[in-house]
Structure 1
Amino acid sequence: MTQAVIGIIGGSGLYEIAGLQDATWVSVETPWGAPSDQFFTGMLNGVKMVFLPRHGRGHVHTPSSVPYRANIDAMKQLGVTDVFSLSATGSFRDEMAPGDFVIVDQFIDRTFAREKSFFGPGCVAHVSVAHPTCPRLSDAAEAAARAEGINVHRGGTYLAMEGPQFSTLAESRMYREAWGADVIGMTNMPEAKLAREAELCYASVAMVTDYDSWHPDHGEVDVTKIIATLMGNADKARGLVARLPELLGAQRADCPHGCDKALEFAVLTGPEHRDAALVAKLGAVAGRVL
């Protein structure tokens, strides 16, 4: 058993939770550059919590400019064991309406302008992301959502697009009809892949704000309506997050799904051929196997 540390990646203000003790902002330096912002840390029901505004306070990062590698590396440095990602999404399903939450279990990665791995020439590794989210954390997210009275859907495929523009009508129809995606967003990739490389359990909670552009009764995405729905979703998200420490507990066993052993056989480059500079950068995320 080890000490559980819950990491939350989401919007600014998600950390404004009643009962959070010893709250403070912490700066973390990483070999991958600066994270999106400082980390807000505190104790909630005996469990350490680490919050990160994904876009930075004031929303200064675009989905493409979010420093995903630095964010995950810093989480690892702070001792985080379990990461919950909360993000706004559009919906491709009538039943997944604005205001609903979806516990994502699959991704389609359509991003192309982002660094997607900690590894590279001089230290090659291949991890499996066949099942990119942790069922144990997804169970906790679902239970917390239901306890909060949130209309939540268990299971869904998240289409990760580059952005920052929203989809064309043709794209929206293709993602929904031909590809079978359920929700669409711009930030969970490569975040989920990097969390797996860092051997962190990861869960994704998609907070639906709109119907993208496919829906005949809703037309194109209206940013003003999205913001209004976002405000309501933020209150629900804080309630969900506040319930996680009690559900997960202060002590944590090894992940039964192997998320925390993802690198066990992933590194292919032999020790004598590894690039020393890259290995040094990998200390936090892969030091267990390197």
Structure 2
Amino acid sequence: MEGDASKSEDEDTVPVKIGIIGEANLDTPIYLTERMEYAVCTPFGSPSDVIIDGQIEGVNVCLLSRNGRQHDIMPSNINYRANVWAMRKMGCTHILVSNTYSSLRDNIQPGMLVVPDDFIDNTTRRAQTFYDGAKGSPLGVCHVPMAPAFCDRTRKHLLNAAQELEFPTRSTATVMTIEGPRYSTVAENNMYRKWGADLLSMTLCPEATLAKEAGILFASLGLVTNMECWCAKQPNATTHEIIYIFKKQAEHLQRVMVSAIKSIAEEDWSEDILKAKILVCSNFANSK
């Protein structure tokens, strides 16, 4: 009887599959086994690149380069909806994203890792929802709540992994997503600081919102690459310098990701996955 109960419990457990969206060439030096590449079709067009499917430490994962593997897609032209929908289509229960952040605060310095807990979306040109009434989109409207902005339980796994590896990590921060590709002015920096933003990104939104609409547990692990221009103590970093800092610290990001992936897969997420889907259904409006 005990064996039957154990079997029944295992059958009720939803298998974890983790999507990873990040910078170009994020699959190296990550050791990926059972590697396959898929050109995924979505109702919203093609994702930024092929989806790389495989396993990391025995955990099923999907990898996607947000800007394309040649880094040739600017932030506002990224097809965020196709990217997230492709992860959903591949069966991902979680999405972990890596982002580069620039700092608006003295106590958040370049080289630090950050696991943000909130965001401000200041973009204006990006499709924000799957439920837009267009042909091929899901019917109805989804008024998805965004508090909390990220999955707290998934965030804790990223934080624990970073702490175990003894990397300097910020456990809370509010990220402002700007349109880009240009950097901000000093006046804009000062305004964002007054609004409560700690960091700037060009890619966090609308990924976070779309993942919530897709019923996927979502968290971000960011690397602070530079101080924003409000900080007169440091010269403005060039794009080449920012890329250099990212490449120098990329291994830290990947080590944290791999450790978090392993620990996430060791737990039962069935209830959280169900709640994420119920959240969408309970905030869905459709007269039919």
Shift of 1:19: 3.8
The alignment status of 1:248 with 2:260, answered yes or no, reads: no
Q: Which moved more, 1:113-122 or 1:75-84?
A: 113-122
The residue number in structure 2 matching 1:30 is 42
Contact 1:105/1:132 (<8 A) preserved: yes
From 104, 111, 117, give the equivalent of 1:99.
Answer: 111
Retained in 1: the 8 A contact 2:217–2:273? Answer: no
Does the Cα contact within 8 Å between 2:110 and 2:224 map onto a contact in 1?
yes
CA distance, structure 2, for counterparts of residue 70 and residue 18 of structure 1:
24
**Is 1:40–2:52 an aligned residue pair?**
yes
**C-alpha deviation, 1:225, in angstroms:** 1.9
| Equivalent residues, number | 270
Q: Which residue of 1 aligns with 2:15?
A: 3
d(CA) in 1 for partners of 2:132, 2:238: 40
Distance 2:26 2:286 in 1: 40
Q: What fraction of aligned residue pairs are identical, expressed as a percent?
A: 31
The answer to whether 1:211 aligns with 2:223 is: no
Structure 1 CA distance, aligned partners of 2:75 and 2:157? 27
Gaps of 5+ in 2: 1-12, 134-138
SS at structure 1 position matched to 2:221: strand
SS in 2 for 1:202: strand
Aligned residue in 1 for 2:146: 129
Does residue 148 of the first structure (1) align with residue 160 of the second (2)?
Answer: no
Q: Which of residues 65, 75, 92 in structure 2 aligns to 1:63?
A: 75
Q: Map 1:200-279; keep pairs closer than 5 Å.
A: 200-249=216-265, 251-255=268-272, 258-271=275-288
Deviation of 1:256 after TM superposition, in Å, equals 7.9
Kindly state the Cα deviation for residue 205 of structure 1 after the two structures are TM-superposed.
1.4
- 1:166 — aligned with what? 183
**Aligned with 1:76 (options 88, 93, 109):** 88
- Give the distance between the partners of 2:96 and 2:278, measured in 1 at CA: 18
Displacement of 1:6: 0.6
8 Å CA contact retained: 2:189, 2:229: yes
- What SS class does the counterpart of residue 187 from structure 1 fall into? coil
Of 194, 197, 200, 1:181 maps to 197
Using the TM superposition, give the Cα deviation of residue 257 of structure 1 relative to its aligned residue in structure 2, in angstroms.
Answer: 9.6
The 8 Å contact of residues 166 and 221 in structure 1, kept in 2 or not, is answered as no
C-alpha distance after superposition, 1:71-123 (max 9, x if no partner): 01100000000011111110112221111011111111100011110012451
The residue type equivalent to 2:248 in the other structure is G
Measure the CA separation in 1 of the matches of 2:240 and 2:255: 24
Query: Do the aligned partners of 1:106 and 1:132 also contact (CA within 8 Å) in 2?
Result: yes
| Unpaired stretches in structure 1, ≥5 consecutive residues | 272-290
Secondary structure of the equivalent of 1:232? helix
What do the CA deviations read for 1:196-245 (whole angstroms, capped 9, x no partner)? Answer: 10011110112100011111111333223212211122111111111123
Instruction: In structure 2, give the amino acid aligned to 1:226.
Output: I
**Contact map agreement 2:221 2:253 (CA 8 A) in 1:** no
Q: Aligned AA for 2:152? A: P
The answer to whether 1:119 aligns with 2:135 is no
What residue is the counterpart of 2:97 in the other structure? 85
Give 1:275's aligned residue. Answer: none
Q: Distance in 1 between matches of 2:31 and 2:176?
A: 35
Distance 2:247 2:118 in 1: 26
Alpha carbons 1:108, 1:158 under 8 Å: kept: yes
Question: Aligned partner of 2:163: which letter?
Answer: R
Residue 264 of structure 1 and its aligned partner are, at CA, apart by: 2.4
> Relative to structure 1, is the Cα distance of residues 217 and 132 closer, same or farther in structure 2, using a 3 angstrom cutoff?
same
**Conserved in 2, the CA contact under 8 Å of 1:254 and 1:260?**
no
- In the alignment, structure 1 residue 108 sits paired with structure 2 residue 101: no
The residue type equivalent to 1:231 in the other structure is K
Which AA in structure 2 matches 1:129?
M
Q: TM-score, normalised by structure 2?
A: 0.89
Aligned partner of 1:54 in structure 2 is 66
